[in-house]
Structure 1
Amino acid sequence: MTRHFFHIVALTFLFCFSLATHAEPPNTATTAPVASEHAGMIDLNSADADTLARELSGIGASKAQAIVDYRDAHGPFVSVDELLEVQGIGSSILERNEKRLTVKP
């Protein structure tokens, strides 16, 4: 009986080992966090109000619209720091978001 038990354990181990060696490695492209898809830079000169409100911290619909209105009235942003000129945008909001913001001509 001991011999029979040993054979069952050995065969089970070999079977599991065989499955593990033939399994495909995980596809890291599909297992990456979904949040990384939205981790791209936000261009202040092309983003619409909905995108700004959705993607930026501390920016709701009214502040996002104020950014778009400022851009429409004064032309494209020259730098990310110019965002401080928008009514309702202070240094704390800029600091929270500046790593995600860019200005493309």
Structure 2
Amino acid sequence: MQANATSAAPAPAAMAVSEGKVNLNTADAATLQKELAGIGMAKAKAIVAFREENGAFTSVDELLEVQGIGKALVDRNRDRLAVN
């Protein structure tokens, strides 16, 4: 029975990562940090804070508006990002 309780926990992360892409609009800071290159916890939290203050991302390039995120970092992760 304990296996069922633990198998339900990964569901939110599974929704944030689909087909190998991280959804910027649903991923939590831990998922962003784990799945994206060059994103530590501070930048991951900044992404989540930006989303909470400004609403859902409409494009991957909107990440450039997050303090501490530059073009090179966006380009490095572009193929891993989605905004569904």
Establish whether TM, by shorter chain, passes 0.5. yes
Give 1:83's aligned residue.
63
Deviations 1:12-59, CA, capped at 9 Å, x for gaps:
xxxxxxxxxxxxxxxxxxxxxxxxxx9711000000000000110010
Match for residue 43 of structure 2 among 36, 49, 63: 63
Task: Decide which structure has greater helix share.
Answer: 1
* TM-score, normalised via structure 1 length: 0.62
Is 1:49–1:64's contact at 8 Å kept on the other side of the alignment? yes
Higher radius of gyration, 1 or 2: 1
Structure 1 position 96 matched with structure 2 position 76: yes
- Mean CA deviation greater in 49-58 or 38-47: 38-47
Q: CA RMSD in A?
A: 1.3
In 1: Cα distance, 2:41 partner to 2:31 partner: 10
Runs of 4+ in 1 over 4 A off after TM superposition: none
With normalisation by structure 2, the TM-score equals 0.77
Secondary structure of the corresponding residue to residue 43 of structure 2: helix
